[in-house]
Amino acid sequence: MGKKVSTPSQVKAKLGMHGVSDMEVVKALTTAHDGVLHNPAYPTPPIDLVSFKAGIDTFSALIVDAEDGGKRAISAKDKQRVVVIKMYTQLGHYVQAACNDDMATFITSGFTAAAKRTKVAPVPLTEAAFSSIDRGPNSGDVVVKAVDQKGALAFDVRYALRGADGTLGPWTTAVITKPRTVTISGLTMAGIYQFQIRALGLLGYTDWMDNKTFVVA
């Protein structure tokens, strides 16, 4: 008989409280307490609900005490916030497991379901292009900048020296990452170069595009 493979819970409780105001925390905790209390779907909560309610009430009182800006009152309030959120988190994990991935059952707990992350399929990149090709800080330097585009991981720039008869020499390739510029050094002074660019995305490379001619100085 094969082993039963367990799958992770699909229904997740929204548990993060970072940036949530104290009063909103009290509201969320109270709703969760009331939802689980005497709920037959959650018969064995991992925390004592009486202690949880007492902790919430203490936190509420400390919020009022801290309104005058006293350091001790604020410190006590912040410490109690950590305590009750920890209890809330334990209860949330229990609810996730006990609801058996049934959303209707989960909702009775008073917890809010976390939004499911949806994967966005990658889309092909548009044609790559140069934003600029300009002289660099030293003789024989060229600074190349790519037009940025969403989804581009990097850009390849290739360049070749044009001979006296107009034929191109071998291509040399440079990679542009962020920031979208690269300095190419050691080029032939007064040489006429041909530049091309392509973009790299999750679906691969675009074609070589945007033929540019540049005279090195």
Q: Which residues of 163-183 are buried (b: 16+ CB within 10 A; e: fewer)?
A: eeeeeeeeeeebebeeebebe
Q: What pLDDT, on a 0 to 100 scale, did the predictor assign at position 9?
A: 54
- Pairing state between β 192-201 and 204-205: antiparallel
CA–CA separation, 72 vs 56, rounded Å? 19
pLDDT digits (tens, 9 = 90+) for 3-23: 444 445 588 999 989 899 999
| pLDDT surpasses 70 at 71 | yes
Instruction: Tell me what pLDDT residue 185 has.
Output: 96
Tell me the C-alpha distance between 204 and 109, whole Å: 46
Asked if 148 and 103 touch (Cβ cutoff 8 Å), the reply is: no
pLDDT in tens, 14-59: 998 989 999 999 999 999 999 999 999 999 999 999 999 999 999 9
Banded pLDDT at 169 (limits 50, 70, 90): very high
Over residues 86-145, the pLDDT tens digits come to 999 999 999 999 999 999 999 999 999 988 767 778 888 999 999 999 999 999 999 999
Look up residue 115 and give its amino acid.
A
Closest-CA residue to 156 (of 166, 144, 164) = 144
pLDDT at 217 (0 to 100): 85
Q: Are 186 and 140 in contact (CB under 8 A)?
A: yes
Share of the chain above pLDDT 90, in %: 83
Non-local CB neighbours of 141 within 8 Å, separated by 6+ positions = 135, 183, 184, 185, 187
Structural fold of domain 130-215: Immunoglobulin-like (2.60.40)
